[in-house]
Chains A and B, each alone.
Chain A
Amino acid sequence: MSAARVGVVTFPGTLDDQDAARAVRHAGGEAVPLWHADTDLKGVDAVFLPGGFSYGDYLRCGAISRFAPLMGELIPAAKAGLPVLGTCNGFQILCEAHLLPGALLRNAGLHYVCRDQRLRIESTDTPWTADYAPGQEVVIPIKHGEGRYVADAETLARLEAEGQVVVRYLGSNPNGSLNDIAGIRNEAGNVVGLMPHPEHAIEELTGGPGTDGLGFFTSILKRLVNA
């Protein structure tokens, strides 16, 4: 059986693509590089939108990337059910592309924050979190300047009611996110956006806080193999 293939997108200014590809490999998958200017998803089984400062974050984080040629293919595929995970800048791009509701604004403290963050996995009902236990507490690095999740009251109420909050900050809220939201999913559950970086917590040697992030990658690979 060949390994499941997870596309890792590189925009100009993407930074965590190498890390994301490594995490896919660690979990037993094949990482397939996808270039922003291409219009070919190369038949991948899932897509990872890594963090960084795509297009220099000019205009607004993710605002230019959502118009990249590759996104023209990815948006309809995601709407049709392709599993997509966006972390950090990837989350911002998913919001700009309206694959996820709400927006990510400048941190309440106005500073970039890099730290090992305690989190709670709120929803295991996605292809990216099925390997976690509901309510499981994990520690995964965050690193961003614009991670304050906001949405209107109605959207927020719906996210909570429908169980679309996937990950929540524990302890002190690092950026002023509403309801301590660190990650959400779309209604169907196949598209997930996160501010934390699970790809930075997959190895004891380099993982800072440990290997708590690996579950996002093992979850998707199990799902793809079993599909």
Chain B
Amino acid sequence: MNVDTVARAAQTPDEPMPHVELGMKDDEYQRVKEILGRRPTSSELAIYSVMWSEHCSYKSSKVHLRQFGTKAPKSDALLVGMGENAGVVDIGDGWAATFKIESHNHPSYVEPHQGAATGVGGIVRDIMSMGARPVAVMDSLRFGAIDAPDTRRVLPGVVEGISSYGNCLGLPNIGGEVAFDDCYIGNPLVNALCVGLLRKDQIKLATAPGPGNKVVLFGALTGPDGIGGASVLASATFEEESHAKRPSVQVGDPFMEKLLIECCLELFAADVVVGIQDLGAAGVSCATTELAAKGTGGMDVRLDLVPLRDPTLRPEEILMSESQERMMAVVTPEDIPAFMAICEKWDIPATVIGEVTDTGRLVMTWHGETIVDIPPGTAADEGPVYERPYHEPAGQAALNSDDPAALDRPSGPEELRATLLKVLGSPNIASKEWVTGQYDRYVRGNTVLAQPADAGVLRVGEAMPGATETNRGIALATDGNGRYARLDPYAGAQLALSESYRNVAVTGARPLAVTNCLNFGSPEDPEVMWQFAEAVRGLADACKALGVPVTGGNVSFYNQTGTVAINPTPVVGVLGVLDDVRRRVPSGFTGEGHRVILLGETADEFGGSAWAQVAHGHLGGLPPQVRLDAERALAGVLAEASARGLLTGSHDVSDGGLAVALAEACLARGVGCAVTLPGEDPFVDMFSESTARALVTVSAETYDAFAALCATSEVACTTLGTTTGDAMLTIDGLAPIPVEELRETYEATLPAIFG
């Protein structure tokens, strides 16, 4: 095999290199030449092209994302912030939680099963690399219209991919979202979240300190996965047969990942790991440059020692391979035997491929010849940064002035009742049991709440054997609403945070920290870039106002087909903590004779609402008002009421308004209710999507204490009625609806399409 060496590169300075085919701009390529003082070898070009890609370098988003740092609220809970594999938060009693959400949108469209499966695998390894035991996953999914032919291809494949991979890993899937909108037809969104637990003093970081320490690659063998680009290098520079036409979506092996999880935890427990990094996008290129850049600064790697699944792989391909289930660790020479013994116990291949140095250079050899010699930080941290131009979209003002007030509204009890059932059975509101019933929500035995509860809740104490007793729990929710964000990306991002924050709060948990996945069209389109800039600004401002810092996340650009971008879709995950998980508030109505109370205030707000979509296919006007102070007050009431045991049940009021919240609360356990709408306009009472509201139930004995708490906290507390034993949803003035009828409507929608 002919390889392009550093010596050869120095001798052939003018040899043309295929940087354009690898997605690198001319000026970016010039910068590489300036950094190296010569042309890059094909292996070096492989490294720079992947590390400076949008996906790895955040070159278009960086200037905006900085606000998450500069505007970050002070938080004593934050142990590790942005820039590591995942953020880490102090949850008390010596415990920490680490969580992150990441997109796998494009692969999931090309090959739904493997695309979604490897999305789960990737985020789980991010969590492992912090030193944590992954304890749960959740997924935020968006597809085209439910009845579109391609949705029937993509959705079942995505669900099966998540199900087969996540279930086989033994991680409960405890929540998430499924939404449908025409705008996602060619660009489904598959955002996977993982949360892990660890002891506060056991955090691991991606760093390679200590010259002489060994660099170990362990896990699956390296094969030709996801290296479409590398074939360009091989064929353009040399006359050899290329490996082109390989599948560009990686294939996952969850069994290997499960072994890798247990192996890593045993390695951490044995304290034989100095630094660790998972291999995700950009594989060996990313792991070696990032570890070296964050450590002593140098690393020697013998690339020919990388164990291969396909022995014909070229060095450029090894560098770019995205084979799954691989990790890289830095280990002291003394600990190597213990490290290897643990890997052997779990049947995990492990190979020493290099050593940490203090040269400040990442040097790679291939059978004795030097093929890479670069300052690692230039690839890992000093990629290009773009201030992309942006401006408000041409049609934005017209969209905002298309007020839903002009739409025909249902009038009279018959129409209101029919509208309730229509909204309840609409794809975005209807039961997602067809999806979530394919996920294991029980494994590990610590799941306290899972879908369809507003947030997933886990017990912490038994997550890992041998750790101190604690009654703490964590709560997690994700939310996003592309319709709101299309109308106003600044408010839309804040509304996603508000709802996710509220979903955590209704379980009784105190929201602590945020992760986000920002799904947008092309950053090269100034109108999309405006949506992005507005969304980031909105989210950073709201995080500050709510006192919850962003700990990490991911940006997914280029979610567009031709010139048509998806609705801007910031998805926000919030992690909260319960001091005593036994005090969590169950979802919905839990028994007869409880008082049904609406917290918060309702205004006439229908822009971007579920009703406008279902009844009129309408998207226009402005989204509901953001009320961050009210959200904070509401969350405070819920946390205190839960800690004092004042609540018997709760549910967030959001998409579809109070009517949907009441119906879902009845459906949780088949308990009915009889309520009177408090306002003047029953339609507004039932379907408005005003924020900072929740539905709760209290027993007659605790009502006074609860009402007093609401009064002190200035949270509006309106008694609507009581729960009943008749299994009927009775709204004063409307014909009662049997819970069975609600259930048939709610549960029929997805099975009717997907079988």
Q: Which residues of A contact B (CB under 8 A)?
A: 12-13, 15-16, 18-19, 22, 52-53, 55-58, 111-115, 141, 143, 145, 197, 199-200, 203, 205-206, 208
Contact = CB atoms under 8 A, between A and B. Distances in A.
Interface in B437-452: 437-448
Contacts of B442: 19, 114, 141, 143, 197, 200, 208
18 contacts: A15-B169, A16-B170, A16-B445, A22-B462, A52-B170, A53-B258, A56-B253, A56-B256, A58-B255, A112-B438, A113-B438, A114-B437, A114-B442, A200-B443, A205-B582, A206-B447, A208-B441, A208-B447
B250 interface: no
Contact of A15 (B347, B443, B582): B443
A93 to B, nearest CB: 16
Interface stretch (B160-168, B268-276, B735-743): B160-168
Given A53-B255, A206-B446, A208-B447, A112 B346 contact: no
Contacts of A19: 442-445
Nearest to A141: B442
A16 B259 contact: no
Contacts of B170: 15-16, 52
Interface centre among A19, A58, A115, A197 (most CB of B within 10 A): A19
A200 B255 contact: no
A94 to B, nearest CB: 20
A16 B168 CA distance: 11
Contact of A56 (B254, B441, B465): B254
Nearest to B464: A18
A206 B167 contact: no
Contact of A199 (B160, B163, B445): B445
Contacts of B448: 205-206
B443 A16 contact: yes
Contacts of A197: 442
Given A112-B163, A205-B582, A13 B440 contact: no
Interface in B12-27: none
Closest A-B pairs by Cβ, 10 of them: A56-B255, A15-B170, A19-B445, A200-B442, A53-B168, A143-B440, A112-B438, A112-B163, A141-B442, A114-B440
Nearest to B444: A18
Given A19-B443, A205-B581, A208-B447, A12 B167 contact: no
Interface residues of B, number: 33
A56 B164 CA distance: 11
Interface of B: 160, 163-164, 167-170, 253-256, 258-259, 346-347, 436-448, 459, 462, 465, 581-582
A13 B167 contact: no
A114 B159 CA distance: 13
A203 B253 CA distance: 33
A115 B438 CA distance: 9
Given A12-B346, A111-B438, A56 B168 contact: yes
Nearest to A18: B444
Contacts of A57: 168, 255
B440 A22 contact: no
Given A19-B444, A141-B442, A12 B582 contact: no
Contacts of A143: 167, 440, 442-443
A41 to B, nearest CB: 20
Interface centre among A57, A200, A205 (most CB of B within 10 A): A205
Contact of B259 (A12, A114, A205): A12
B388 to A, nearest CB: 43
A140 B707 CA distance: 38
Contacts of A112: 163-164, 167, 438-440
Contacts of B163: 111-112
Given A53-B168, A200-B445, A114 B255 contact: no
A112 B439 CA distance: 7
Contacts of A16: 170, 443, 445
A58 B164 CA distance: 13
Interface centre among B259, B438, B444, B445 (most CB of A within 10 A): B445
A200 to B, nearest CB: 4
